[in-house]
Structure 1
Amino acid sequence: MFKGIYKVYFLGIGGIGMSALARWFRHEGYPVAGYDKTPSPLTEALEKEGMMISFEDSTVEIPFDFTTNPDEVLVVWTPAIPKDSLLLNFFQAHYQIKKRSEVLGMITREFYTIAVAGTHGKTSTSSLVAHLLKSAGKPVAAFLGGITQNYNSNLILPGKSKEQTLVVVEADEFDRSFLRLSPNEAVVTSADPDHLDIYGDEATILEGFRDFIKLLDKKGKLYIQTHAHYRLGENLSTSAAIREYGLRSSGIHAENIIAKPGLFLFDYIGAKVQIKGLELHIPGFHNVENALAAIAIAVDHGVTEEQIRAGVKSFKGVKRRFEIHSAAAGHIYIDDYAHHPEEIKACLSSVRAMYPTQRLTVIFQPHLFTRTRDFAEGFSESLSLADEVLLLDIYPARELPIPGVDSAMLLDGILAAKKLVLQKAQVMDYLEDSRPEVLVTLGAGDIDRLVPGIAAWMDSRAKQDES
């Protein structure tokens, strides 16, 4: 598969998808080095695992062993790296260089692959698919878009089973990366408009998902969420078996859903199997729906009812996906990666169901100027589910500012009783004064840097009130 390659260098090694690949190559015995813009807990973990990482965009920082025989080095890069990067331009001129999606695609051609796509829900769903199979003793390798709580990693590796390894991959629609995969089975959790800076319009991103489905093995299976199926149309160009799922689907669906603080109970109703009284400790109606797809796949791979029940109950979720940091009465704190109006709506609707009588405060950091501009009305509508909304400045990621586009443009459309724009440095003082009962932080930028401090503050408040 990688004939003649003896070392691998990653440009943007600290990215969640890149680091999973880096870990896979390291596990396979390759020396691994890389560059990233800034240190992070993830790059620190990779360094402890034996990878050499620099944070200077300079060719001087490339380890000597990676410069002596360029033909033996594979360079993997992510489109998040700026086009004027000195390292990117150097490697493009002198080395074999491939996008992350190309390399992941090469891996999927060698293994039986389950690819999970969707504008939202793919990280939680792929993680649960991998966990149900892994906990049932199946040989699984999984490349995930988040850090699983059960395995404390974005990479799951198979054991020593002689069975054929099943590869679970998160199929990312950004930059059309998922079109490089070779799936035997696929999940489409959602097909809402997003990444319009890449696709241009809603019709084009929907066509991207249809093209992804065309890649399915002819004898494969497609698990598709009800609304996504409606949006993509009935006449999908695939001979794979299509299995529709959803909370209220006529196909695979859930019944008797009960929302409780910290968990959801539900019954799985499938064509072959019905499993009653499942206990899911990653709360949220959207997570129940994600679990339906994962359970259906597990059933089709011979996982027993008892194993599924135990696997669903033991799944701890993914960091920053409805992650509950404090559950004390009156001191609830939940953090979520949601950065699209539909994701925010799903998260806050579930929080409301769990804590219907308590005051809900939300801190949201918009991600990308283009996304904020394109979905401003949707953001305002979904954030209106809260009683109090605090907006941080837009996290630019790969973008330059757009005149007239900022967080304040969302305020007029938000119906919450209290709403304002805050700087990150003001957050802790504001929380100290306002004393929220249920607090939710949302966003895909660097809002995660605030989470440890907020969690510690909320925990200390709970202990003070107990005493």
Structure 2
Amino acid sequence: MNLNQIHNVYFIGIGGIGMSALARYFKAKGKSVSGYDRTQTEITDSLQTLGIAVHFVDSVEQINPVFLDKDTTLVVYTPAVPGSHKELNYFMAHNFQVVKRSKVLGMITENTFCLAVAGTHGKTTTTSILGHLLNVCDVPLTAFLGGISENYNSNLILNGTEVTVVEADEFDRSFLTLSPNLACITSMDADHLDIYGDASEIEKSFQDFSKRIKPGGKLFFRNGLPLEGMTYGIDDDSDYSIQNIKIKEGTYFFDVKTPKMVLENLEFNLPGRHNLSNALIALAMAVEYGCPYQQLAKALASYSGVKRRFTYQIKRDDLVLIDDYAHHPEAINAVFSAIEEMFPKKKVLAVFQPHLYSRTRDFIDDFAKSLSQFDELILLDIYPARELPIDGVTSEWLLSKVNCEHKKLVTKEKLLDEISVSDAQVILTMGAGDIGDEVQHIKRRLSNAS
């Protein structure tokens, strides 16, 4: 398949964060772009403002006839789309060029200098930092992000096509379509066991990914992982190591030891040691690419973050509201540690929406342990996403295992009232489902109450 011969690109699941970045990319390249998604969101609204037609009914009749020419149309779909999808089945039955998102990403990056970020946690933030660093250093790049960058208000940075920065997703083994020049692996914790079966299989997939690096390329990984390449870490003997950490008014200041020199008094504004680690590996990859140190220091200090990655919605002396995408026990632990470091001795209320029945089942005890760290917990029902219910797997079951004195299960309809009666000084919302849609309502209620 030659992408230059494709005139039309149709997306099934266009509202997904990875799919929408590709839609923006093809639109910018002058292609006709359209697509379907199940629900209208801020992302689909933003695509429509770019002139991309989006509809929300699974019906071939809704598709513009231009996209029904199989000789000029590429159909891209996400694995989250069910096999019963009418539009997907139509395109397959009529022999269109139908490919997964991951394959298209592999095709786009194949003939570029590719920097890929993999790992069960930290991918999106690290990719966003790396894209920002290279962009500020005026590298001719296209960066496909797994979240909305605060610096660019987009999940796509487009400043050229010679270099690509991509989030290498382990779900459905998607990252095995990539052949990067520089790659990193931030973590290899068990996840997506509905796909992999057990932890050893997901570890094997990361090993397989590490072997896809182009000849002469480099692999970076967090110190301690069973891999071969360049290591990074905090206060250790890694090839790239953060040292002499200080916190001043919520900002980190630190030094970085590289294989060749020490970079002194760097500045980074995202809270949490996990974000420091993400910043370090992005910096290491940018250094190895060849970016000048002084520009990198300025770029790192100007990085603003990714929406729903420890995003401050309210930040006052008497009240803090933070929203985060955390949906795995290790991610919850990282967020808790960041809050503990930045807001010691303050009472914390966590609002958590579990994501997927299978993930809740597979990590039930780990979730309970992570959530038990907070002073108060409000639990919402499980967000099913692509799954059907699993017998016995409920938020009630999870709540019963949480060792927290003040805990309750509430509906979305009563969420605002329950939050309003809490005297917690720090309120945290977490989850990968639609809890993000509630955050602005919570912010308004809390702001009006003050």
TM superposition score category, shorter chain reference: over 0.9
The 5 Å alignment of 1:4-43 reads 4-43=5-44
What's the CA shift for 1:259? 4.1
Query: Counterparts of 1:278 and 1:248 in 2: how far apart (Å)?
Result: 15
- Contact between 1:108 and 1:167, CA under 8 Å: does it hold in 2? yes
What's the CA shift for 1:59? 0.5
In structure 2, what residue type is equivalent to 1:103? V
Query: Counterparts of 1:361 and 1:17 in 2: how far apart (Å)?
Result: 31
The 5 Å alignment of 1:197-276 reads 197-227=194-224, 229=225, 233-234=226-227, 236=228, 242-251=229-238, 252-259=240-247, 262-276=250-264
The 5 Å alignment of 1:370-381 reads 370-381=358-369
Please list the CA deviations of residues 409-433 of structure 1 after superposition, one character each: whole Å capped at 9, or x if unmatched: 2223323221111111111101221
The 5 Å alignment of 1:305-320 reads 305-320=293-308
* 2:436 maps to 1:448: yes
TM-score relative to the length of structure 2? 0.97
In structure 1, what residue type is equivalent to 2:73? V
Query: Counterparts of 2:406 and 2:38 in 1: how far apart (Å)?
Result: 37
Q: What is aligned with 1:71?
A: 71
Please list the CA deviations of residues 363-419 of structure 1 after superposition, one character each: whole Å capped at 9, or x if unmatched: 000000000000011111111221011110000000000111011222233232211
What SS does the aligned partner of 1:366 have?
A: coil
Q: What is aligned with 2:146?
A: 145
CA 200–415 in structure 1, closer or farther in 2 if over 3 Å, else same? same
- Contact between 1:349 and 1:385, CA under 8 Å: does it hold in 2? no
Query: Counterparts of 1:22 and 1:301 in 2: how far apart (Å)?
Result: 27
What's the CA shift for 1:260? 5.2
Please list the CA deviations of residues 27-78 of structure 1 after superposition, one character each: whole Å capped at 9, or x if unmatched: 11000010000110100100110111111100100102112x2221000001
Q: What is aligned with 1:175?
A: 172
Query: Counterparts of 1:42 and 1:197 in 2: how far apart (Å)?
Result: 27
The 5 Å alignment of 1:334-353 reads 334-353=322-341
Query: Counterparts of 1:422 and 1:450 in 2: how far apart (Å)?
Result: 13
Query: Counterparts of 2:97 and 2:399 in 1: how far apart (Å)?
Result: 48
What SS does the aligned partner of 1:33 have?
A: strand
The 5 Å alignment of 1:324-343 reads 324-343=312-331
In structure 2, what residue type is equivalent to 1:53? V
In structure 2, what residue type is equivalent to 1:213? S
Q: What is aligned with 1:435?
A: 423
The 5 Å alignment of 1:338-417 reads 338-417=326-405
- Contact between 2:346 and 2:424, CA under 8 Å: does it hold in 1? no
Q: What is aligned with 1:92?
A: 92
Query: Counterparts of 1:358 and 1:65 in 2: how far apart (Å)?
Result: 58
In structure 1, what residue type is equivalent to 2:70? P
- Contact between 1:191 and 1:209, CA under 8 Å: does it hold in 2? yes
What SS does the aligned partner of 1:434 have?
A: coil
Matched-pair identity in %: 47
Query: Counterparts of 2:422 and 2:365 in 1: how far apart (Å)?
Result: 27
Query: Counterparts of 1:412 and 1:265 in 2: how far apart (Å)?
Result: 41
What's the CA shift for 1:264? 2.5
- Contact between 2:420 and 2:446, CA under 8 Å: does it hold in 1? no
What's the CA shift for 1:3? 4.4
In structure 2, what residue type is equivalent to 1:319? K
What's the CA shift for 1:275? 2.0
Please list the CA deviations of residues 303-322 of structure 1 after superposition, one character each: whole Å capped at 9, or x if unmatched: 22321221111100100001
The 5 Å alignment of 1:94-133 reads 94=94, 95-133=96-134
What SS does the aligned partner of 1:70 have?
A: coil
Query: Counterparts of 1:249 and 1:84 in 2: how far apart (Å)?
Result: 51
In structure 2, what residue type is equivalent to 1:77? Y
What's the CA shift for 1:5? 1.5
Query: Counterparts of 2:398 and 2:245 in 1: how far apart (Å)?
Result: 33
> For structure 1, which runs of at least 5 residues remain unmatched after alignment?
237-241
Query: Counterparts of 2:413 and 2:304 in 1: how far apart (Å)?
Result: 31
What's the CA shift for 1:261? 5.4
- Contact between 1:225 and 1:244, CA under 8 Å: does it hold in 2? yes
Q: What is aligned with 1:239?
A: none
- Worse-matched range after superposition: 368-377 or 420-429: 420-429
Q: 2:185 aligns with which of 165, 188, 206?
A: 188
Query: Counterparts of 1:3 and 1:135 in 2: how far apart (Å)?
Result: 29
Query: Counterparts of 1:3 and 1:432 in 2: how far apart (Å)?
Result: 55
- Contact between 2:26 and 2:33, CA under 8 Å: does it hold in 1? yes
Please list the CA deviations of residues 279-335 of structure 1 after superposition, one character each: whole Å capped at 9, or x if unmatched: 211111100001110111121223223212211111001000011111101210111
What's the CA shift for 1:436? 2.3
TM-score relative to the length of structure 1? 0.93
Query: Counterparts of 2:401 and 2:72 in 1: how far apart (Å)?
Result: 56
Q: What is aligned with 2:158?
A: 157
